[in-house]
Structure 1
Amino acid sequence: MTTRVLVVEDDPDVALALRVLLTRAGYEVLAADNGRDGLKRLFADRPALMILDVGLPELNGWEVLERTRDMTDLPVLLLTARGAERDRVRGLRAGADDYLPKPFGNEELLARVEALLRRSSPARWSGQYLDEALRLVPERRAAVWQGHEVRLSAIEFRLLQVLVRNRGRVVTVEQLLARVWDDPDGVGRDRVKFAVLRLRRKLAEAAGADAEDPLEAVRGLGYRYRAPE
């Protein structure tokens, strides 16, 4: 079955270039030129990945991303203006899995699409982790924390999985980029910080604000999972 990719882009030249590039690479391309139609295509056709432009009519990219994250955890590649660091930070904080500044190279875009699809495959998650407070459930891409099930995105699940497999040990930002984002060169370090923040928020919302935070930031190094005593 051909992998479906939804492109939500209002610039006709960019949209055409993406369609040709992705089609030649073997993907089935779905397209929308505004945010409202993008959401309709998203929920009607259930693609495997969405490429989302920030500046869209009807609903902008931020609104589309927010509504998407309320309903699904499919990978989202955000297209931003070159040099717009604020947009990239905002996108990562809102739940985008990766970003790519315009104009972009064809090979880089395809590599990022392939990496996102590879990371989101259920076959990539195997085994469970269990202690008195936490259980990972790979088949549902979820964690049971303090007795409450928490649904996670692909990135959040992989992040938690890497941390708990190294419980008590610091996992550096560089190691997390390599193991969770397939980014051994360490590009985009803010991705780690904002993914940890989203993961912490989900765990706290599930178990209550008074529950222990198991994710410890180690200044200048990285993060570690502390199994409850």
Structure 2
Amino acid sequence: MTRILLVEDDADLATALRALLGRAGHEVLHAPDGREALRRLFADRPDLMVLDIGLPELDGWQVLERTRDLTDLPVLLLTARGAEADRVRGLRAGADDYLPKPFGQEELLARIEALLRRSRPAGWAADRLDTALHLVPERRTALWHGVEVRLSDIEYRLIQTLVRNRGRVVTTDQLLVQVWDGPAGVGRERVKFAVLRVRRKLQQAGGRDSHDVIEAVRGLGYRYRGEGRNPTT
């Protein structure tokens, strides 16, 4: 049974969501504030977090930041703050999805199912996809010039999709379908921010001599162009 940590300070909404998620076959852990959320995160090791932003003690932004310091646990932000600036902030901070209130029950369940599906190993064998890059699916990591790079599930699927299409442009819409499974309401900015995170991680691992291997093709999407040099030479 999948274990979901629900972080919500509205008691009535929390009760309704626990019933909804329970009927869908999930075990639901509830935290009414940010400090309790972090405690349960450590103690119970959930499979996914549904996180409100407006929380007592620690707000949702602080909880998300501390969660991302510890784990690549899928996080769905569920909040009344539906402004574009809040959605952008959430995605940049590492949230995997963002659903403004009010929301439909079926949409919430579909988004949770998509996140959980993506959090499982994709089943592709580990192989060397480039002279400098080796993906390790069982650990959801990459070896970049021999240095291990920790990736979230989304980041792993993103780099894997781009590298397997090396030299070809993968459009933003194609990435939304192949990496995010094309859930309703997902904005194109999500792809941009995920690419920026992957670029930053590879550059940090490769050091000053590491080239930017993901090329943005204006108006279309992204292309993996490879390191262009063999790390063994």
Question: Is TM more than 0.5 here?
Answer: yes
Deviation sequence 1:186-214 (CA, Å, 0-9, x none): 73111101111111111111122441111
For the residue of structure 1 that corresponds to 2:210, the secondary structure is coil
Partner residue, 1:95: 94
Q: Which amino acid aligns with 2:18?
A: R
**Distance change in 2, residues 1:184/1:172 (3 Å):** farther
CA–CA distance in 2 between the matches of 1:185 and 1:47? 25
CA–CA distance in 2 between the matches of 1:114 and 1:33? 23
Residue 5 of structure 1: how far off its partner (Å): 0.3
With the length of structure 1 as denominator, give the TM-score of the two structures. Answer: 0.95
CA–CA distance in 2 between the matches of 1:150 and 1:110? 31
* Unmatched segments (≥5 aa) in structure 2: 229-233
Identical residues among aligned pairs (%): 73
Is 2:11 aligned against 1:12?
A: yes
Partner residue, 1:50: 49
Partner residue, 1:217: 216
CA–CA distance in 2 between the matches of 1:213 and 1:98? 26
* Unmatched segments (≥5 aa) in structure 1: none
Partner residue, 1:127: 125
Partner residue, 1:199: 198
Residue 17 of structure 1: how far off its partner (Å): 1.3
Q: Which amino acid aligns with 2:27?
A: E
Partner residue, 1:25: 24
CA–CA distance in 2 between the matches of 1:60 and 1:27? 25
Residue 184 of structure 1: how far off its partner (Å): 6.5
Deviation sequence 1:48-68 (CA, Å, 0-9, x none): 100001111111111111111
Partner residue, 1:118: 117
Question: CA RMSD for the aligned pairs?
Answer: 1.3
Q: Which amino acid aligns with 1:193?
A: K
CA–CA distance in 2 between the matches of 1:179 and 1:35? 33
For the residue of structure 1 that corresponds to 2:219, the secondary structure is coil
Residue 185 of structure 1: how far off its partner (Å): 6.0
Q: Which runs of 4+ in 1 moved over 6 A?
A: none
Q: Which amino acid aligns with 1:192?
A: V
Partner residue, 1:166: 165
Is 2:187 aligned against 1:188?
A: yes
How many positions carry a matched residue from both structures? 227
With the length of structure 2 as denominator, give the TM-score of the two structures. Answer: 0.94
- 1:71-82 residue pairs with structure 2 within 5 A? 71-81=70-80
Residue 26 of structure 1: how far off its partner (Å): 0.8
